[in-house]
Structure 1
């Protein structure tokens, strides 16, 4: 394996409420369930994950900057910041590590204000709309990119 660095899985605001927050949209899996599934899938691919959640935009930016030197790739569900954060967009552009934007729901099929993704404009790719499976698909994409030595 070309790189033993972990895949960072970063989660934005309100994702700590998964399992109980609007389960008809986001499903019943908790963030802890998703973390466990991501770790298992990454392990099957010879990788590890570092899994974090914050409701604070600046903390997500700090973690993205940390990923510059410490992560093989990043899976990012920025939650509502996806549509509003120039700071997260700029951090993704600055780090030179592949970032996969992911979402449980399909933002394009929801309210109009969710149709624009500032994160997606900076990310290597976007996986959305498959519920908790979106994360597993993003782990696979991140591992593939890390193994190929691709950058953002």
Structure 2
């Protein structure tokens, strides 16, 4: 069975409590549950990982390389805008990477408009809340084929 790694970045453990105007009231556990359901429906295994520590995220990406995952969906949160270390780790991967965001990062503060991952990801999906995740999973699966 193909494997898709879902990477959740900094502060995502606070979904459901943090800024409901931008992120809604859905929790990370609920997002992961919906990703698992869709993955099962589409015939892939979804492996979820969340951390607030940038080095741990880079190490999980390295592990994904060694595990030979088939695709990655990433919502790196604020790291999207400045983490060249995480960008370099992701660049090691030779599988499709789809960047997603719950909010429309282009309609928010200026610093959120730039993604340091943009040049290395297959594409970006933002602004659709939970659906950003589900669309990202579908896009990653489509890019694997």
TM over 0.5: yes
The answer to whether the Cα contact below 8 Å between 1:89 and 1:121 also exists between their aligned partners in 2 is no
Question: In the alignment, which residue of structure 2 is the partner of 1:14?
Answer: 11
RMSD: 0.9
Q: List alignment gaps of at least 5 residues for structure 1.
A: none
Partners of 2:10 and 2:19 lie apart in 1 by 14
Find 1:51's aligned residue among 48, 53, 58: 48
Question: 1:10 aligns to what SS in structure 2?
Answer: strand
Q: List alignment gaps of at least 5 residues for structure 2.
A: none
Partners of 1:132 and 1:101 lie apart in 2 by 14
Question: In the alignment, which residue of structure 2 is the partner of 1:118?
Answer: 116
Matches within 5 A, 1:39-78: 39-70=36-67, 71-78=69-76
Find 1:23's aligned residue among 20, 38, 42: 20
The answer to whether the Cα contact below 8 Å between 2:6 and 2:47 also exists between their aligned partners in 1 is yes
Question: 1:95 aligns to what SS in structure 2?
Answer: coil
Partners of 1:124 and 1:67 lie apart in 2 by 17
- Deviation of 1:52 (Å): 0.9
Moved over 4 A (4+): none
Q: Aligned residues, how many?
A: 144
Question: In the alignment, which residue of structure 1 is the partner of 2:30?
Answer: 33
Deviation string 1:36-78 (CA, Å, 9 cap, x unpaired) is: 0000011111011111100011111111112123211000000
